[in-house]
Amino acid sequence: MSSPSPRVLLVNDDGPPGPHSPYIFGLYLHLTKNIRWDVKVVVPSSQKSWIGKAFHITEITKGRYYYPREPDGMGEVSSCSRPLKEGEVAEWVLLDGTPATCTNIALHNLYPGAIDLVISGPNYGRNSSAAFAMSSGTIGAAMSSALSQTRSIAISYGTVLHPTPDDLLEPAHVLSLRIIQYLWNNWGKDVGGTRNGEIDMYNVNVPMIMELLNPKGLDVHWTHMWRSSYGQLFKAIPAPEAASTKRDILSEGPDVASQQSGLEDDVLKEEPEAPLVFKFSPDIQSLVTPSLDSVPVGSDGWALAKGHASITPLQACFAHADHDHAATGTESLRILKL
């Protein structure tokens, strides 16, 4: 039995449509045109990957309005709300904040009491395994929703082919839509859930592979999260190289420089003689292309390595670990004697 159509908030961590955010507009069109759900969109004004569930608490969060146009979602930014112009499909909101900030402001300030489901994504890249998931702004935005007792689904499109063929976007959106509808109509139970004993949130990963074009499509697995890890994420930059990076960015003009994120923003603020300069340069190839024998069967990493989509139910918490000394069931709390 189908549930009533939800009022949806669509968020992401990649920002408005563009080279670093190629998926959100396509999914928006599928949600609004194919199944005619009511969808509001609130996204960061710039790319905010790897920021997790962080909030800006000392900065003032400012917002503007965005008016995407078909076919690619590129549009005009306005400091005030206005009627749609010819060719524009909707009014979105851009916030100068984190993905989790976008979720919370949308739920409690912009559309209080008017959202039933938060969809975060589709992310430009996978969010399978703990190493990615605990760093993910996409999952952080969904987690922010769950902690506000609102159902949420995080969706990520795992990059496998470089570049990703454009003809994979449509079947990826179609599969994601089927998964979203199924989860909405069959939301799972969890006795400890933050909302009416329900599953807090789901994490969905879809590999962008040619098998999406097959009539059968991809297999979809219920999975658990692969408890992976990472090592070095940053590398040191010699001072002359850091100064050169700053000059290169400035030489491209203010528009290009203002669009840079991560290292580039930091380098622009650093003095050339700064003694310690580091660049985000993660060595995570073993997480992106793990061997099958290195990932637990039934995990999200295993599913993607097999070329399957995954759905992982998640708790909005740092779940306690099972261990030999934990109290279970009706057993009395155990006292640790040191």
206 phi, psi to nearest 5 deg: -120, 115
For residue 189, the number of C-alpha atoms closer than 13 Å in the C-beta half-sphere is 1
Asked if the structure places residue 18 within a domain, the reply is yes
Distance (Å, whole) CA 29 – CA 173: 10
Q: How far apart are CA 34 and CA 54, in angstroms?
A: 33
Q: Is residue 167 part of a domain?
A: yes
- Spell out the per-residue pLDDT of the chain, length 338, in tens: 678 899 999 999 999 999 999 999 999 999 999 999 999 999 999 999 999 999 989 999 999 999 999 999 999 999 999 999 999 999 999 999 999 999 999 999 999 999 999 999 999 999 999 999 999 999 999 999 999 999 999 999 999 999 999 999 999 999 999 999 999 999 999 998 999 999 999 999 999 999 999 999 999 999 999 999 999 999 999 866 665 655 554 444 444 334 444 444 544 455 556 789 999 999 888 888 888 888 999 999 999 999 999 999 999 988 766 555 445 555 445 566 67
CA 172 to CA 167: how far, in whole Å?
Answer: 9
What distance in Å separates the CA atoms of residue 314 and residue 312, rounded to the nearest whole number? 6
Would 45 be classed as within a structural domain?
yes
The reported pLDDT for the residue numbered 2 is 73
CA distances from 53 to 229, 234, 241 (A): 18, 21, 32
As a whole number of angstroms, the distance between CA 288 and CA 127 comes to 10
**Does residue 244 contact residue 263 with C-beta atoms inside 8 Å?**
no
Any idea how long the chain is? 338
Q: Whole-model pTM?
A: 0.86
Parallel/antiparallel/unpaired status of strands 309-314 and 220-222:
parallel
Answer yes or no: is 274 within a domain. no
In the chain, the number of structural domains is 1
Closest to 97 measured CA to CA, from 157, 139, 137, 145: 137
Residue spans of beta strands (DSSP E) within the chain: 7-11, 38-44, 63-68, 75-78, 92-95, 117-124, 151-159, 201-208, 220-222, 234-236, 278-280, 309-314
What does the radius of gyration of the chain's CA atoms come to, in whole angstroms?
21
CB atoms within 10 A of CB 222: 13
Q: Are 154 and 121 in contact (CB under 8 A)?
A: yes
- CATH number of the domain at 117, please: 3.40.1210.10
Please state, in angstroms and rounded to a whole number, the distance separating the CA atoms of residues 265 and 261.
5
CA atoms within 13 A on the CB side of 280: 10
Report residue 29 CA to chain centroid gap: 18
pLDDT of residue 159: 95
- CA atoms in the 13 A half-sphere facing the CB of 323: 6
What is the per-residue pLDDT for 318?
80
Looking at residue 262, its pLDDT comes to 46
In a domain, residue 203? The reply is yes
Q: Quick check: is 185 in a domain?
A: yes
| Residue numbers of the domain that contains 221 | 7-228+295-314
Angle of CA points 96, 98, 104, to nearest 5°: 100
pLDDT score recorded for residue 263: 43
Q: Does residue 282 belong to any structural domain of this protein?
A: no
DSSP symbol at 167: G
The pLDDT score that the predictor gives to residue 256 is 37
User: Beta partners for 77?
Assistant: 66
Q: Is residue 62 in a domain?
A: yes
Neighbours of 199 (CB within 10 A): 20
Q: Is 16 exposed, middle or buried (0-12, 13-18, 19+ CB in 10 A)?
A: buried
| Cβ proximity of 148 and 103 under 8 Å | yes
